[in-house]
Amino acid sequence: MGSGTTANATAKKMPVLLALCFALAVIVELANSSTFDELFQPSWAPDNSVFEGDLLKLKLDNYSGNHLQEYMSSDGPTHNEFDFEFLGNTTGEPYLVQTNIYVNGEGNREQRLNLWFDPTKEFHTYSALWTQHQVLFLLDETPIRVHTNLEHKGIPYPKDHAIGVYSSIWNADDWATQGGRVKTDWSHAPFIVSYRGFEIDACECPVPSASADNMKKCSSEAENKYWWDEPTVSKLSIHQSHQLMWVRSNHLIYDYCTDTSRFPVTPKECVRHHHDRH
């Protein structure tokens, strides 16, 4: 089963310090509407979300953040999840984006980048492409991370659960702002993040539905071939490989694969993911 999802996002009133979590995952089922108020529902603090046609704004103040979802994400002890997390910044320093991958309920696969652009100036595209071959994270179509399916090496890969899209903005100055050393400056509140141009291209999985049924329904067959299962999409192109190397050489500031204090034994997927090493 595979799908690609795209969302454009920018913070319009970015604070000196902000912790924004944008958890992007593959969709549970296709949506026919193009307006956010028909696609998504606030799960808490509805007053902190504003729908303006094709534009969505989430607000964080010193009373509450906001969380929005289209459908439930994969849940339970073996859930899968793909995250974009904006960790905020201090004035004059680059904005930080962290990605993380949960496979069968286990995360701790963080990678952190400093951005080569200011995300508050204009909209940018943040995408996740999930196929049977790999999970690919992209910023404005530039690959920033690839997680390859290595099940043939005995390494788990996310495949058994249909999952949804959700986004939240919340105060995480207990860990996100330089490890919690710097606190959010509430004099800049409210903090607002804006989204537009949300796109989904995915295999529809009815809810509820058994994993085996989803796998069968979303597998490419002769009469039902999905574009994301084509050989040209199963791995990075030469150009994409060069882009990924550039990102990792110039903007990667943390990789769980090389954090020997957390992982004295290198995680198995890090040994095998040649494109994912720094």
Instruction: Work out the end-to-end distance of the chain between its first and last CA atoms, rounded to an integer number of angstroms.
Output: 29
Reply yes or no on whether 221 is catalytic. no
What is the C-alpha to C-alpha distance for residues 259 and 278, in angstroms, rounded to an integer? 11
CA distances from 219 to 80, 149, 210, 227, 270 (A): 18, 15, 14, 11, 27
Reply yes or no on whether 122 is catalytic. no
Residue 203's identity, in one-letter code, is C
What is the C-alpha to C-alpha distance for residues 80 and 161, in angstroms, rounded to an integer? 7
Buried (b) or exposed (e) across 184-194, using 16+ Cβ within 10 A? bbeeebebbbb
Of the candidates 81, 110, 199, 269, the residue annotated as catalytic is 81
Of the candidates 29, 38, 52, 85, the residue annotated as catalytic is 85
Angle of CA points 254, 255, 257, to nearest 5°:
155
What is the C-alpha to C-alpha distance for residues 254 and 18, in angstroms, rounded to an integer? 19
What is the C-alpha to C-alpha distance for residues 184 and 149, in angstroms, rounded to an integer? 39
Q: Which residues are catalytic?
A: 81, 85
